[in-house]
């Protein structure tokens, strides 16, 4: 495991940790730390977190610093593992996260905390998705617009969706297929 950086070496390290878990449970935490230091990724961080339990709080800052080199992992870890949605939201903005799928999950989680704050992010995702004229992109935009409408209603700002749809219709008036998709769901 310590001789190379390959996926086989990482798999060997994981096997080592499994053996320790089965036969020397008290040594597994140190082994998981070693694996994380060697391969600072979401998977190794998740497994370290699962084993650490009560010993986790002093390690959290170091793990987050190490994951910062991999922005997607860095955002996904507090979102999915630590269940610290505000931290994930703040850091996603700070890092200017680009992965749309992860933004969708962040929006779904953060809308409970601040529905108004997610609306501009959702709007930018809808607009970015329409850069390329494809039917698949139109369907995704409509699905996100439906989500936008639901969140805007909860936030007490239903006019936000109406304004966004009007703007999209105006800017995309030469895309009949998009307009049909919007008409289909009564936007």
Output the average pLDDT for the chain. 94
**b/e per residue 123-145 (b: at least 16 CB within 10 A):** bebbbebbeeeeeebbebbbebb
Residue 125 tokens, joined: 């995702």
Residue-wise pLDDT tens digits, 122-153:
999 999 999 999 999 999 999 999 999 999 99
pTM of the predicted model, to two decimals?
A: 0.86
pLDDT(98) > 90: no
> How far apart are alpha carbons 110 and 152 in whole angstroms?
14
How big is the chain by its Cα radius of gyration, in Å? 22
User: Which residues 6+ apart lie within 8 Å of 3 measured at CB?
Assistant: 9
Residue 62 contacts residue 48 (beta carbons within 8 Å) = no
Residue-wise pLDDT tens digits, 62-94:
999 999 999 999 999 999 999 999 999 999 999
> How far apart are alpha carbons 128 and 31 in whole angstroms?
43
* Nearest by Cα to 38 from 2, 7, 72, 14: 2
Give the percent of the chain with pLDDT over 90: 91
Residue 102 tokens, joined: 């992860």
Residue-wise pLDDT tens digits, 47-62:
999 999 889 999 999 9
């Amino acid at each position: 495991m310590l001789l190379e950086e390959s996926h086989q070496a990482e798999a060997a390290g994981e096997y080592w940790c499994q053996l320790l878990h089965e036969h020397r449970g008290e040594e597994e935490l140190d082994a998981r730390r070693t694996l994380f230091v060697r391969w600072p990724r979401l998977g190794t961080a998740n497994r370290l977190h699962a084993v650490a339990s009560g010993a986790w709080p002093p390690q959290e800052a170091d793990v987050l610093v190490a994951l910062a080199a991999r922005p997607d992992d860095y955002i996904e870890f507090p979102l999915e593992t630590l269940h610290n949605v505000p931290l994930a939201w703040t850091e996603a903005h700070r890092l200017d996260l680009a992965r749309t799928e992860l933004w969708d999950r962040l929006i779904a989680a953060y809308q409970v905390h601040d529905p108004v704050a997610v609306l501009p992010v959702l709007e930018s995702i809808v607009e970015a998705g329409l850069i390329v004229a494809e039917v698949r992109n139109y369907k995704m935009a409509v699905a996100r617009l439906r989500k936008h409408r639901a969140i805007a209603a909860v936030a007490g700002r239903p006019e936000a969706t109406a304004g966004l749809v009007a703007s999209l219709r105006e800017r995309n008036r030469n895309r009949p297929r998009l307009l049909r998709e919007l008409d289909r769901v009564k936007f």
